[in-house]
């Protein structure tokens, strides 16, 4: 366990609260301690209120903040005396507790205090740190975990048996602290939950945490229970992408809506999935109560085994009986699937959710294997898992979550995504909750955005092998394909037919028609399994209904693409796939409209560039965003009964009208 304290960095954080910010960030940098909003920290400060009266306040991490990036505004100031008095009550429901925390803050704009605020308050130390250390939990989650903790720490920590986070835990700790806390104790271990450290300064509390966790790591290493990840077997099993897509479809069906299914094929995940005792190890439950909501129970089902769908049906039937009243449909589906061929697949309503589950279970694998090496992994009892999963505060979160964006859990692939209409489509679909796969021959597509719901792939869409690889990466990343936007295209310089060479003709046809055909043909098996039905939007051109001089290759290619879309609409309706076409015109903020092209096109009509830009009925300019917004809407519920349509986005063209 590395001590990250840096004197130069620390000097930039002046005052008690800022020091709290600094060491909280240090803890947040280490994912073996906390991740994705886990853990909490606090500091006790005396301040004058508006009446000039000094009050003792507990500044505790607020809900929704991540320790790694926390600011002073992420700490909620709560009146300390009131918290201490609450700990003496015989009972207090969780909603009542949250109400007391919120109504006794001194800053109404502050976030909701951590549910462990009362526990922080009763610890008689200025600074308190709490983490879910992988190493500590690996030790506690064994049959004789408490005994091992005593071997590691002796009388330097207070040991607390497992109680669900909230008021009951705070009240128990308050009693144990009053009866057993000694001057020799620098921390507190909550069995199957985590570890606390405390001190007079931020540095002291932080360094005690590092030292305590380091002792647990040393214990595991000394017991030969640290480096326990198996080497990947030398033989490999072929991966059939259609199996992943079918699996996602099945999970989506049981979840009551589309989900993201992300595949992790690293050595550790695949080796764990092939562990000889995986059926038992994977079914015992999560490592800590902090992970219950995200990981659920884990079925061990091989995709290469015939009848896997029936196996899942059996699992879901059992899981429905376990989950009880109040569950959401997603609760009926697994959060993690372990497969010997694929490794670890994680499920989420969004790509971010699936990534969180992946990160959590990646650490859970370490915990399970290390605890197993110590003599046997033991998770929380089923009753405790159920209690945390459906406790009042978690159900309140579900009620407040609201209606998700329209494309939540769905995946769209957009060709020509690096610029122009394609780039605008990326933003429009992301704004509606979709996970986006962007293809482009321009390598800028790979670094267009840095977020879990975007995957930019460098791809030559005229190369079918490259397209196939791109679809494979899309399936591994997000689980399937629900929507396809055919946008990639070229618009060559103006050229009369008499001067048009075959090489240029076939180059345009290859990009504008052949590449779209490949994407449609290869994407069809994936779109067939879309939970809400597959959708394809073709970016056509005004030149289809109203071609112009000097654009023979472009007009003919777009007309061919338009006919291809119409035939596909006829053929694919039986597969619940709808295909519609947009015909934009004069969208000048795209890559094909270079100054040279714009000038030559304007000249061919005897117009200036400015006149050419607004030569439509409405006298307006059409932007890439205008086209992208309509493309996204065509994939939404407003067009649910429409296929084979052609819609102009051109400001009104007299020849089209």
Q: How far is CA 512 from the centre of its chain?
A: 34
Which CATH superfamily includes the segment(s) 411-588+622-649? NAD(P)-binding Rossmann-like Domain (3.40.50.720)
Nearest to 100 by CA among 123, 77, 119, 82: 82
Sign, CA dihedral 264-267-271-274, equals positive
- pLDDT of the residue at 95: 86
Distances 534 to 143, 257, 306, 412, 541 between C-alpha atoms, Å: 50, 14, 26, 10, 23
Question: Secondary structure of 527-540 in the HEC alphabet?
Answer: HCCCCCCEEEEEEC
Laid out side by side, the sheet with 40-48 consists of: 75-79, 54-61, 40-48, 127-131, 194-199, 187-190, 157-160
Give me the CATH code for the 241-399 domain, please.
Answer: 3.40.225.10
> Which of 22, 315, 454, 554 does the annotation list as catalytic?
554
- Residues 203 and 135 sit within 8 Å (Cβ to Cβ): no
In whole angstroms, give the CA distance from residue 614 to residue 549.
19
Spatial distance between the Cα atoms of 79 and 475, rounded to a whole number of angstroms: 51
Domain boundaries, the chain: 7-222, 241-399, 411-588+622-649
Handedness of CA 395, 398, 399, 400 (dihedral sign): positive
The contacts of residue 654 (CB under 8 Å, 6+ apart) are 617
Question: Is 554 in the active site?
Answer: yes
Query: What is the distance, to the nearest Å, from the Cα of residue 376 to the centroid of all Cα atoms in its chain?
Result: 32
State the 10-residue block means of pLDDT for the chain, 657 residues long. 94 96 96 86 95 96 92 96 94 90 95 93 96 94 93 96 87 93 95 94 97 96 87 64 87 88 89 84 73 41 42 41 37 74 87 89 90 86 51 49 84 96 97 97 96 96 95 96 95 86 92 96 96 96 91 92 97 98 90 79 86 89 94 96 96 90
* Per-position b or e across 611-646, b if 16+ CB within 10 A of its CB: ebbebbeeeeebbbbbbbbbbbebbeeebeeebeeb
- Centre a 10 Å sphere on the Cβ of residue 204 and count the other Cβ atoms it contains: 17
Q: What is the pLDDT of residue 400?
A: 56
| Same fold across 241-399 and 411-588+622-649 | no
Between β-strands 127-131 and 194-199, what pairing exists: parallel, antiparallel or unpaired? Answer: antiparallel
- CA dist., res. 404 & res. 71, Å (int): 28
Pairing of strands 343-348, 336-339: antiparallel
Q: How far apart are CA 253 and CA 532, in angstroms?
A: 10
Phi–psi pair at 40, nearest 5 degrees = -155, 155
Q: What is the rounded CA–CA span in Å between residue 202 and residue 268?
A: 36
**Residue at token pair 């769908």:** 309
Look up the pTM and report it: 0.86
Class of the domain covering 7-222: alpha beta
In this prediction, residue 647 carries a pLDDT of: 96
């Amino acid at each position: 366990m590395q001590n990250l304290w840096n004197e130069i960095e620390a000097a930039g954080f002046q005052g008690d609260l800022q020091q709290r910010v600094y060491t909280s960030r240090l803890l947040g940098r280490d994912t073996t301690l906390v991740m994705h909003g886990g853990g909490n920290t606090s500091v006790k400060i005396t301040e004058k209120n508006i009446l000039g009266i000094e009050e003792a306040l507990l500044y505790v991490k607020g809900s929704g903040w991540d320790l790694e990036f926390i600011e002073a505004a992420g700490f909620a100031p709560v009146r300390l005396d009131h918290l201490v008095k609450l700990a003496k009550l015989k009972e207090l429901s969780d909603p009542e507790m949250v109400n007391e925390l919120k109504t006794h803050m001194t800053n109404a704009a502050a976030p909701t205090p951590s549910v462990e605020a009362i526990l922080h308050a009763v610890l008689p130390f200025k600074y308190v740190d709490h983490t879910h250390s992988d190493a500590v939990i690996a030790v506690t989650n064994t049959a004789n975990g408490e005994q091992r903790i005593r071997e590691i720490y002796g009388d330097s920590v207070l040991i607390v048996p497992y109680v669900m986070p909230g008021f009951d835990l705070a009240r128990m700790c308050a009693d144990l602290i009053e009866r057993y806390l000694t001057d020799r104790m620098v921390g507190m271990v909550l069995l199957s939950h985590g570890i606390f450290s405390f001190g007079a300064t931020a540095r002291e509390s932080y360094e005690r945490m590092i030292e305590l966790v380091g002792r647990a790591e040393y214990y595991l290493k000394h017991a030969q229970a640290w480096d326990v990840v198996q080497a990947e077997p030398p033989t490999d099993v072929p991966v059939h992408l259609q199996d992943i897509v079918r699996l996602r479809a099945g999970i989506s069906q049981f979840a009551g809506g589309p989900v993201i299914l992300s595949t992790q094929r690293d050595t550790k995940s695949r080796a764990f999935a092939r562990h000889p005792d995986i059926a038992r190890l994977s079914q015992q439950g999560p490592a800590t109560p902090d992970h219950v909501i995200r990981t659920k129970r884990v079925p061990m089902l091989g995709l290469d085994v015939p009848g896997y769908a029936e196996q899942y049906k059996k699992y879901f039937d059992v899981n429905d009986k376990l989950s009880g009243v109040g569950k959401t449909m997603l609760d009926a589906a697994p959060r993690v699937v372990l497969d010997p061929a694929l490794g670890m697949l994680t499920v989420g309503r969004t790509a971010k959710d699936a990534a969180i589950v992946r990160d959590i279970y990646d650490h859970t694998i370490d915990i399970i294997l290390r605890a197993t090496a110590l003599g046997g992994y033991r998770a929380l009892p089923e009753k405790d898992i159920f209690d945390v999963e459906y406790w009042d505060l978690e159900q309140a979160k579900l009620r407040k979550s609201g209606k998700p964006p329209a494309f939540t859990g769905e995946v769209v692939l957009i060709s020509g995504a690096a610029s122009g209409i394609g780039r605008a489509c990326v933003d429009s679909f992301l704004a509606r909750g979709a996970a986006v796969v962007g293809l482009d021959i321009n390598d800028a597509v790979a670094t267009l955005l840095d977020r879990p719901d975007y995957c930019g792939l460098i791809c030559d869409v005229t190369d079918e092998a490259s397209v196939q690889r791109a679809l494979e990466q899309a399936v591994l990343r997000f689980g399937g394909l629900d929507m396809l936007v055919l946008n990639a295209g070229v618009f060559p310089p103006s050229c009369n037919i008499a001067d048009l060479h075959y090489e240029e003709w076939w180059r345009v046809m290859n990009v504008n028609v052949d590449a779209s055909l490949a994407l449609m043909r290869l994407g069809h098996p994936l779109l067939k399994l879309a939970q809400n039905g597959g959708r394809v939007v073709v970016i056509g051109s005004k030149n289809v209904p109203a071609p112009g001089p000097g654009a023979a290759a472009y007009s003919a290619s777009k007309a061919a693409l338009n006919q291809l879309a119409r035939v596909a609409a006829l053929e694919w309706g039986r597969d619940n796939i709808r295909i519609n076409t947009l015909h934009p015109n004069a969208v000048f903020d795209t890559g094909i409209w270079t100054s040279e092209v714009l000038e030559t096109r304007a000249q061919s009509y005897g117009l200036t560039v400015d006149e050419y830009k607004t030569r439509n009925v409405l006298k307006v300019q059409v932007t890439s965003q205008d086209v992208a917004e309509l493309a996204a809407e065509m994939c939404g519920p407003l067009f649910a009964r429409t296929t084979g349509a052609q819609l102009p986005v051109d400001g009104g063209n007299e020849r089209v009208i």
